[in-house]
Amino acid sequence: MLTVVLILVILGCCLIVWFRRNNNEEPPALNGYFPLIGHAHLLIGAGNIHLWIYLKEIAYECLNAGGVMSIFHGPKTVYCVADPDDFLTVADTCLQKDCFNEFAKPWLGDGLATSDLTTWKEHRKLLDPAFSQAFTDGFLTVFNKQARRLVKELEVKAGKGTFDHFVYTRKNALETTFFTVFGEDFNDKSFLSIYQQKMDQMLNILVERFKKPWLHCDYIYRWSALRKQQDDCMKILLNISNTVLKKKKAVYLNNGKNQNIKKETNGPKFKAFIDLLLELAIEKDAFNDEEIREHVDTLMFGGHDTVASVLMYTILLVGSYSGVQKKILEELQSIFGDSNRDVTRADLSQLVYLEAVINESMRIYPIMPISTRRLDRDVQLKNCTLKKGRTCLLFIFGVNRHPMWGPDAEKFKPERWLGSTTPDCPTAIAGFGVGRRVCIGNVSLPQSLPCDGRLTLSAATLLWLWVRFPQLEKCSCDKHECSVDNKYLSII
Ligand code: HEM
């Protein structure tokens, strides 16, 4: 009897393999498929380094297969799209997020990255004005202050051997995001380190869950050790946000909304995101307290690690290419001369080469290599149809290596963003996502820029001062020593 069952199971598995390989209606399958678990074995137990190497392999396999592929994560069929046109089609047709984002729902609830579509449409419309140029101009003073703070901290390390600069960009970006979101500075350093630790832990928990397909099932996950860790972590993070929210709300109600807008002596008015959310909640009844908490936590989560990582990669790249560093310095010299004044919005639109450097750094090392969509309808692509109900991975890492970038796509070459050499394709700048659900945190620069690109204000401002960092200015060697650990494997 057992032998018969075994034979039937083996036959069933062979049939599934045959069907998945020969189903011409589906995009080609990724190599390395195993019956039942599909490609999940490639992720199980994988550390960060392995994940990045694997990502690169999938990118090239997908591009060689025409830009669209099927991946089987356990019983689930997941599509992977690296063709720029098809990427845009999916991004604009289906706006609902999937899996990874849903894992974060107990924490981020109806925040923009995790809400259902109806809530997302309503809330995104309300929040978009918060990222308008007029609003974010109020942050310039904060960015300038933070940039000086970062340089001061790095100065201590200069000339004293290798050090991990991500520790510094991360701390600085966390402080900046906390201030712009909550309107409060981190005066208590131990509080900063707990907050950072718990944010890290949450991200690791989400990634661990994604890697293990059996934990995708809520019922199994509920009984796992990982869920226990998630609950403990969330308790601390929620406590921090709720405490600040309570305090801010009391101030708003006591003093009226105008008290929450700080007038900076030399610049535009600064208003923290939480104050805007409170205003919308109290004056227009747009959000309840829980929704405000979910939005601020989403902005904290989405805002700090991303900016810190872009800075970290850009610093490594610029440090490794002395020619690029020289050109940035020439551009800065032409705009600022020897002045040590603050950066203004007008300056940013002149930093054309620096913007090309940041775009190129984000192309080579996209810190969010994949974005997800749930297909709420069949989607017709150039050469196949993706089926309703499935998950689609919008493969930013793959698009960034598409043949449209030429045979030297792996090369760090900021010049490709200048003049007419940039591919004429809306998906060329994919680092922030594309289409209607693009990252809310990117800030448009004036359309007059040659490459019509997008540059995070904070990244530009911080980089400006970093490049002025005296020790680096003097250095003209090609051999900066880069300390690369797990986190930054893509540099290897
Ligand atoms: C260089 C830095 C950043 C990068 C590379 C980045 C990248 C991304 C990407 C790829 C997405 C997904 C887009 C999609 O699904 O198509 C996203 C979404 C998002 N990002 Fe960013 N981001 C950055 C900075 C920020 C900042 C500073 C904030 C806020 C303070 C932020 C808040 C968000 C939010 C709220 C979403 C969800 C938007 C929605 O679904 O409506 N991001 N980001």
Q: Does 274 contact ligand 1 (Cβ within 6 A)?
A: no
- Cα separation, 127 vs 277, in Å, equals 8
Q: Does the beta carbon of 124 lie inside 6 Å of ligand 1?
A: yes
Longest pairwise C-alpha distance within the chain:
86
Give the chain's mean pLDDT. Answer: 81
Q: State which of 101, 400, 432, 457 you would mutate to test the pocket of ligand 1, scoring each by most atoms of that ligand within 8 A of its C-beta.
A: 432
Nearest to 306 by CA among 395, 241, 351, 369: 369
Nearest to 488 by CA among 162, 47, 43: 47
Would you say the CB of residue 101 lies under 6 angstroms from ligand 1? no
pLDDT exceeds cutoff 80 at 158? no
Is the Cβ atom of 307 under 6 angstroms away from ligand 1? Answer: yes
| Cβ of residue 400 lying under 6 Å from some atom of ligand 1 | no
Most confident of 135-139, 158-162, 466-470: 135-139
Instruction: Kindly tell me the sign of the dihedral angle through the C-alpha atoms of 437, 441, 442, 446.
Output: positive
Ligand 1 centre to CA of 146 (Å) is 21
If you measure from the C-alpha of residue 403 to the centroid of ligand 1, how many angstroms do you get, rounded to a whole number?
26
pLDDT band per the 50, 70, 90 thresholds, residue 313: confident
Q: Higher-confidence residue: 393 or 313? A: 393
Q: Are 372 and 78 in contact (CB under 8 A)?
A: no
Decide if pLDDT at 447 tops 50. Answer: no
Mean pLDDT calculated for residue range 407-432: 89
Query: For residue 440, how far is its CA from the centre of ligand 1 (angstroms)?
Result: 6
The pLDDT confidence band at residue 443, using thresholds 50, 70 and 90, is low
Give the mean pLDDT of 464-486.
44
Give the residue extent of every domain in the chain: 2-491
The vertex-273 CA angle with 268 and 279, nearest 5°, equals 95
**C-alpha of residue 3 to centroid of ligand 1, in Å:** 53
What mean pLDDT do residues 375-394 have?
Answer: 94
Q: Please give the pLDDT value at position 235.
A: 95
Cα–Cα distance, 60 to 398 (Å, whole number): 7
The tokens describing 228, both together, are 């226990």
Report the separation in Å between the CA atom of 16 and the middle of ligand 1, taken as the mean of its atom positions: 38
The residue nearest atom 11 of ligand 1, judged by CA position, is 439
Q: Which two tokens stand for residue 407?
A: 């045979």
Can you give the pLDDT at residue 114? Answer: 93
Say yes or no to pLDDT of 268 above 80.
no
In this predicted structure, the answer to whether residue 464 has a pLDDT above a threshold of 70 is no
pLDDT of 90: 97
Q: What is the pLDDT of residues 325-368, one digit of tens each?
A: 889 888 888 988 888 888 887 888 888 898 899 899 999 999 89
| CA separation for the pair 216, 210 (Å, rounded) | 7
Which residue has its alpha carbon closest to ligand 1 atom 8? 432
Residue 434 has pLDDT above 50, yes or no: yes
* Residue nearest atom 30 in ligand 1 by C-alpha distance: 303
Confidence of residue 33 (pLDDT cuts 50, 70, 90): confident
Residue 384, marked binder? no
Q: What is the pLDDT of residue 477?
A: 45
Strand 76-81, strand 391-395: pairing: parallel
Q: Whose CA is nearest to atom 38 of ligand 1?
A: 439
Least confident span in 7-16, 40-49, 193-202: 7-16
pLDDT tens by residue, 190-227: 777 888 899 989 988 998 888 888 898 899 999 999 99
The Cα 239–Cα 236 span in angstroms is 5
- Looking at residues 404-431, what average pLDDT do you find? 90
Ligand 1, atom 40, lies closest to the CA of 113
How many whole angstroms separate alpha carbon 108 and alpha carbon 296? 9
Per mean pLDDT, which range of 166-180, 184-198, 302-316, 366-380 is the poorest?
184-198
What is the CATH code of the structural domain delimited by 2-491? 1.10.630.10
More confident residue, 378 or 272: 378
Residue 478 has a pLDDT of 46
pLDDT band at 371 (very low <50, low <70, confident <90, very high): very high
If one compares 146 and 400, the residue with the highest pLDDT of the two is: 400
Band (pLDDT 50/70/90 cuts) for residue 258 is low
CB atoms within 10 A of CB 490: 20
Tell which atom from ligand 1 comes closest to the C-alpha of 111. 35
Q: Which candidate, 21, 68, 24, places its Cα nearest to that of 390?
A: 68
Top mean pLDDT of 146-150, 252-256, 274-278 is at: 274-278
For 290-302, the pLDDT digits (tens) are 999 999 999 998 8
Task: Check residue 66 and give its pLDDT.
Answer: 94
Q: Is the CB of 431 under 6 A from ligand 1?
A: yes
pLDDT at 68: 97
**How are strands ordered across the β-sheet holding 76-81?**
68-73, 76-81, 391-395, 370-374
- In tens, the pLDDT along 61-94 reads 999 999 999 998 777 889 999 999 999 999 999 9
